[in-house]
Chains A and B, each alone.
Chain A
Amino acid sequence: MSNPHEDKKEGKKDLPRWGMVIDLDRCVGCHTCEIACKIENDVPLGIWRSWVKEIEKGRYPNVVRAFRPTLCNHCEDPICCKVCPVKAAWQREDGIVMVDPHLCVGCRYCMSACPYEVRYIHPLKGMIDKCDFCHNRVDAGLQPSCVEACPNSARIFGNLKDPESEVSRLIATRPVARLKPEMGTDPRVYYIGFDPATLEIKREAELIWEK
């Protein structure tokens, strides 16, 4: 009983390493990925597995809208899996970070440890919920729902181990950024044309009790 996921990890050496590239030059901020994710994964009201943060900056006429599609980064060295007291947060051999609903007790420790704030308490189940790259679709040979729904093909999903894949080609030939690499998590979602202003936090954030 030491590791409940041992049997699922055995003897699969040639597995891919899934990752995503988000080309923000193509993103228009239509929020379709958000909706597709909600429909595919049956995400209740009030929580999002994937969302698009949208900011405006500058003064007219020099203005721009910047977008940051946010989802679980499926880190190579995930903090959530380290801090989980019951091994409910675990990583598949192909890199997808999962939540085991049979083990998760809803202690929320992983939520406070995640630097990307992508983990949420499912209001109906009382346990942690997060993006899992639509693992059931990926296992069936399909693309994740947000990738398939994106009208401008801004999201590209693929195998990072394969040098011929679209994601590897983009990472190799375009300037890419990752969210908070200084956290030591080695995230596997890459952004092209990323505006760091979308990462800035607000001083004097709204406190929950004042709403």
Chain B
Amino acid sequence: MGKVVFDVHYQTTLAFLISYYFYCTGLSAGSFMISTMSYGFGMTKYKPASKMGVVAAVLLLLLAPQFLLMQVGWPIKSVWNHFVYFNPVSAMSYGAFLLMLYPLNSIIYGIFMFKGNMKLTKIFGLIGIPMALAVHGYTGWILALAVARDYWNTGLMPIVFLFSAMVSGVSMMILLIMIRDRFFTKEKVINKDLVVSLAKILGWLLVVDLFLVFCDYSVLLYSKLEGKEVAHFMLFGKMSFFFVVVENLIGKIIPMIIVMIPRTRNSYFWLTVAALMNMVGILAMRIVTVYGGQALPLM
């Protein structure tokens, strides 16, 4: 209604580094899930992916907190204070513990897997699954509990984060397995059975993920002032290229179609394209969620 004559520009709170942090934890949680499918749940079909999955999970989870430490103003103080001054009502407080315990558990799980101790591998794998869910779910909670922003403050946020984590993790595993089998084995033959069954999982995860995005936006468009504004900003405004085209069309819908059609699913070329597109799309999703959620000033 009015024209603003003077106002103070507010600072960006959580920047791109946080998006990369969310992306890395998501990939890690997803690849850990694939890794536990054979040792934890006895699905032997996925056994060739287990060792690669746990190595990827540990490496990514060692990388992820580095982005977090680059973002905070006082990195060393933050590590100390998070443990000493624990605030039980803050989601971020629990994150510090999860980010320490989950890689430790994954390393122990990986060591037993490489040594061939089936029983302990199963135990630590099963302990790791709720941890992997928590370590990525809590990132969604961090955003959901920032009550000021209508785009973040929804109960769907942790679930959306979990599904996008699993989606990107499965895509990464498909790519890694194809690269390993093609270039780093003696036979140079890709394990087609494994890759295609992972692609089927990817397809159904994408269906759920798209459904969750639809739920989120349909509610936002009917919600109050700020929710409507931010939904319009994402769908038709300056964020629409990243949100509609990169995240949902390139990142989710096209890969879903590729992995749903049997002809393209059985082609390694199309599978590589789908997995790469999906990984780019999920990175865009992290940036859109973190940056777009706070792009509009609140008052």
Chain A residues with CB under 8 Å of chain B are 1-2, 4, 31, 47-48, 51-57, 65-66, 70, 79, 82-88, 103-109, 111-117, 120-121, 125-127, 179-180, 183-184, 197-205, 207-208
The 6 listed contacts between A and B (C-beta, < 8 Å) are A47-B11, A86-B87, A112-B152, A184-B147, A201-B299, A202-B297
Nearest Cβ on chain B to A2's Cβ, whole angstroms: 8
Nearest Cβ on chain B to A20's Cβ, whole angstroms: 17
- Beta-carbon nearest neighbor of A180 in chain B: B299
Q: Which residues of B lie under 8 Å from residue A107 when comparing CB positions?
A: 71-73, 78, 92
Given known A-B contacts A57-B2, A111-B13, A203 and B299 have beta carbons under 8 A apart: no
Asked if residues B299 and A116 are in contact (CB atoms below 8 Å), the reply is yes
**Most B C-beta atoms less than 10 A away, residue of A106, A125, A180, A197:** A106
A interface footprint on B210-252 (CB within 8 Å = 1, 0 otherwise):
0000000000000001100100110001100000000000000
Given known A-B contacts A53-B6, A183-B147, A204 and B84 have beta carbons under 8 A apart: no
Asked if residues A201 and B2 are in contact (CB atoms below 8 Å), the reply is no
- Beta-carbon nearest neighbor of A208 in chain B: B12
Query: In the complex, how many residues of chain B place their beta carbon closer than 8 angstroms to a beta carbon of chain A?
Result: 52
Nearest Cβ on chain B to A1's Cβ, whole angstroms: 6
Instruction: Say if the beta carbon of B207 comes within 8 Å of chain A.
Output: no
Nearest Cβ on chain A to B144's Cβ, whole angstroms: 11
Q: How far is the CA of A103 from the CA of B83 in the complex (A)?
A: 12
Chain B residues with CB under 8 Å of chain A are 1-8, 10-14, 71-74, 77-78, 81-82, 84-87, 89-93, 95-96, 142, 145-149, 152, 225-226, 229, 232-233, 237-238, 294-299
Q: Tell me which of A65, A117, A201, A204 contacts B237 (CB under 8 A).
A: A204
Asked if residues A197 and B2 are in contact (CB atoms below 8 Å), the reply is yes
Q: How far is the CA of A207 from the CA of B145 in the complex (A)?
A: 24
Given known A-B contacts A54-B4, A83-B91, A200-B1, A109 and B146 have beta carbons under 8 A apart: yes
Q: Which residues of A lie under 8 Å from residue B12 when comparing CB positions?
A: 208
**Most B C-beta atoms less than 10 A away, residue of A65, A88, A180, A201:** A201
Q: Tell me which of B84, B149, B233 contacts A112 (CB under 8 A).
A: B149
Asked if residues A53 and B73 are in contact (CB atoms below 8 Å), the reply is no
Asked if residues A205 and B82 are in contact (CB atoms below 8 Å), the reply is no
Given contacts A55-B3, A109-B13, A197-B1, 15 further A-B contacts (CB under 8 A): A1-B84, A47-B11, A52-B6, A55-B5, A56-B3, A85-B92, A85-B96, A86-B78, A109-B142, A115-B298, A183-B148, A184-B147, A202-B297, A203-B232, A204-B237
Asked if residues B148 and A204 are in contact (CB atoms below 8 Å), the reply is no
- Beta-carbon nearest neighbor of B87 in chain A: A87
Q: How far is the CA of A179 from the CA of B299 in the complex (A)?
A: 9
- Beta-carbon nearest neighbor of B88 in chain A: A2
Q: Which residues of A lie under 8 Å from residue B152 when comparing CB positions?
A: 112
Q: Which residues of A lie under 8 Å from residue B296 when comparing CB positions?
A: 201-203, 205
**Most B C-beta atoms less than 10 A away, residue of A66, A115, A199:** A115
Nearest Cβ on chain B to A72's Cβ, whole angstroms: 13
Asked if residues A109 and B92 are in contact (CB atoms below 8 Å), the reply is yes
Q: How far is the CA of A109 from the CA of B90 in the complex (A)?
A: 10
Q: Which residues of A lie under 8 Å from residue B5 when comparing CB positions?
A: 54-56, 65
Nearest Cβ on chain A to B91's Cβ, whole angstroms: 7
Q: How far is the CA of A95 from the CA of B238 in the complex (A)?
A: 41
Q: Tell me which of A65, A87, A109 contacts B85 (CB under 8 A).
A: A87
Nearest Cβ on chain A to B75's Cβ, whole angstroms: 8
Asked if residues A117 and B81 are in contact (CB atoms below 8 Å), the reply is no
Q: Which residues of A lie under 8 Å from residue B233 when comparing CB positions?
A: 203-205
Asked if residues B90 and A82 are in contact (CB atoms below 8 Å), the reply is yes
Q: Which residues of B lie under 8 Å from residue A120 when comparing CB positions?
A: 10-11
Given known A-B contacts A113-B147, A179-B299, A54 and B6 have beta carbons under 8 A apart: yes
Nearest Cβ on chain A to B97's Cβ, whole angstroms: 11
Q: Which residues of B lie under 8 Å from residue A65 when comparing CB positions?
A: 5
Given known A-B contacts A201-B299, A202-B297, A115 and B147 have beta carbons under 8 A apart: yes
Asked if residues B85 and A83 are in contact (CB atoms below 8 Å), the reply is no
Nearest Cβ on chain B to A193's Cβ, whole angstroms: 15
Asked if residues B148 and A112 are in contact (CB atoms below 8 Å), the reply is yes
Given known A-B contacts A85-B87, A112-B13, A205-B297, A66 and B2 have beta carbons under 8 A apart: yes
Q: Which residues of B lie under 8 Å from residue A48 when comparing CB positions?
A: 8
Asked if residues A4 and B148 are in contact (CB atoms below 8 Å), the reply is no
Q: Tell me which of B71, B87, B232 contacts A84 (CB under 8 A).
A: B87
Q: Tell me which of B14, B77, B90, B225 contacts A85 (CB under 8 A).
A: B90
Asked if residues A1 and B299 are in contact (CB atoms below 8 Å), the reply is no
